[in-house]
Amino acid sequence: MSALTAALYGALAVYLGGWFFGLWVGNFALVLFLLSFVTGLFWLAERFHFQPARLRAAAALESQHVARRAELNKLGITQVDGDLVQARAAVLAQPWWLDWTAGLFPVIAAVFLLRSFLFEPFKIPSGSMVPTLLVGDLILVNKFEYGVRLPVVHTKVMANGDPQRGDVVVFRYPPDPRLDYIKRVVGVPGDEIVYAAQKLTVNGQAVPLQALGEFYDEDSLRYSPQFSEKLGAVEHRILVDPKRPSYFGGQTPRFPGAENCRYAVEGLTCKVPAGHYFVMGDNRDNSQDSRYWGFVPDENLVGRAFFIWMNFGSFGRIGSFR
C-alpha cells in the first residue's frame, strides 16, 4: 500500500508539474474529484479495516502484557521489562501512507465541495478586464448564482438565476472549454448588440458613456482614455480609444451562431440567440471576446465574479466590485 500511495502522489506531481510548465492544460476540478475519490477509499479502508485491526492488535498486546505479569508474579518477579504505553502507541500509530491519504480526505473533500458548489478562486491572467480587474488580481466566483451544476461534467441540476447585463462572469472558453475566461455580459438572449465607431448599442439604445480622464496602466506603461459605462443598473469603467476604428473587415469570423451576426468595416451587429450571452472585456481595444469568437452558451457558465480577495502587488485592491 505504501508503494501504491507513493505512485499515486508521484503521478500527481508529474501532472501538476506539466500543467505548471505549460506542457498541457490542467483540469483542477477533475484533480480534486479524483483526489477526493481515492482518499475517500483510503478513509473507508482506515475506518472499517486498518484502524479496527490496530485496535485489536493493541488489545491483544495488553492482554499478553497482563498475562505475562500474572505469570511472573507467580514466580515472585515484580519487575517487568518493556513499556506498555510506548508499545501500544507504536501499534496504534497510523502509517505514513494512511496519514497522507485517509488523513487528508476530510480537507480535500471539503475543498472540493466548497469549490464546486459555492465559491471558486481564479487569478486574472491578462489585461482584458482593465480597469475593473488587473493582472494578478485573485478573485472569488459565486458558483450557485446561475444554478447548481455538477462538478467535472458541468451539468446544471438546479436553476437559480441568469446572468444580467453588466455582470462579470467566468465561463469555459467556447473554442476550447478547457480554458476559463472572464468578461462582462453586455447582451442577454434576445438582445440586438451593435458595436460600431467604438460605441455599444443594446436594442437600439446607446449605452451611456461619461469621460473620466486617462487611466495609467502599470503593466503596459501607457495612458488610455477611460469612460464610465452604464449597462442596466451596473455602472463600471471601461478603456476605449474613440479615435481607433472598430475594424471588422476581411474574413468574417466563423463560430456557432455566426449567422446571427453581420460584420462590416465600421463594426458589427449581432442578435443574441436563446440560451447564449454576448460578452466583452472592459479593455475594449485589447480584448478577444464575443466580437471575435462568438456567443457564450449557458452550459459554459461557471459563475459570477464578485470579490478580489488578494493582489500581492497591491493589497488595497482587496474588496468587492461590480
Among 226, 227, 229, 231, smallest CA distance to 202 is for 231
Judgement on whether residues 295 and 158 belong to the same structural domain of the protein: yes
Same-domain pairing of 178 and 253: yes
Confidence band, pLDDT 50/70/90 cuts, at residue 81: low
76 and 161 housed in the same domain: no
pTM: 0.85
- Is the pLDDT at 41 greater than 80? The verdict is yes
Grouping H, G, I as helix, E, B as strand and the rest as coil, residue 115 is: helix
| CATH number of the domain enclosing 293 | 2.10.109.10
Residues 186 and 299 in one domain: yes
72 pLDDT more than 80: no
Q: Are residues 7 and 40 in the same domain?
A: yes
307 half-sphere exposure, CB direction, 13 A CA radius: 9
Q: How far is CA 138 from the centre of its chain?
A: 11
Exposure letters 4-35 (e unless 16+ CB within 10 A, then b): ebeebeeeeeebeeeeeeeeeeeeebebbbbb
Within this chain, do residues 286 and 168 fall inside the same structural domain, yes or no? yes
Cα separation values, 306 from 125, 170, 182, 231, 320, Å: 17, 10, 12, 16, 6
Do the strands 168-172 and 180-187 form a parallel or antiparallel pair, or are they unpaired?
Answer: antiparallel
Residue 39: its H or E element: helix 28-45
Q: Where are the beta strands (DSSP E) in 50-161?
A: 119-123, 138-142, 148-149, 156-158
Domain edge (last residue) among 79, 112, 145 = 112
- Could you report how far apart the first and last alpha carbons of the chain are, in Å? 50
Model confidence at 68: pLDDT above 80: no
Q: Kindly report, residue by residue over 266-281, the tens digit of the pLDDT.
A: 889 999 999 999 999 9
Residue 262 belongs to what domain range? Answer: 120-320
255 and 297 inside one domain: yes
Q: Do 87 and 193 fall within a single domain?
A: no
pLDDT single digits (tens) 143-159:
999 999 999 889 999 99
pLDDT digit string, tens, across residues 94-120: 999 999 999 999 999 999 999 999 999
Considering the domain architecture, whether residues 79 and 28 belong to the same structural domain is answered as yes
Count of structural domains, the chain: 2
The cell numbers describing 320, all together, are 468587492
Q: Which of 88, 112, 136 is the last residue of a domain?
A: 112
Q: Are residues 32 and 125 in the same domain?
A: no
User: Do 128 and 101 have their domain in common?
Assistant: no
| Domain stops at, among 82, 112, 142 | 112
d(CA 61, CA 73): 18
Do residue 91 and residue 162 come from a single domain? Answer: no
- Residues annotated as part of the active site: 128, 183
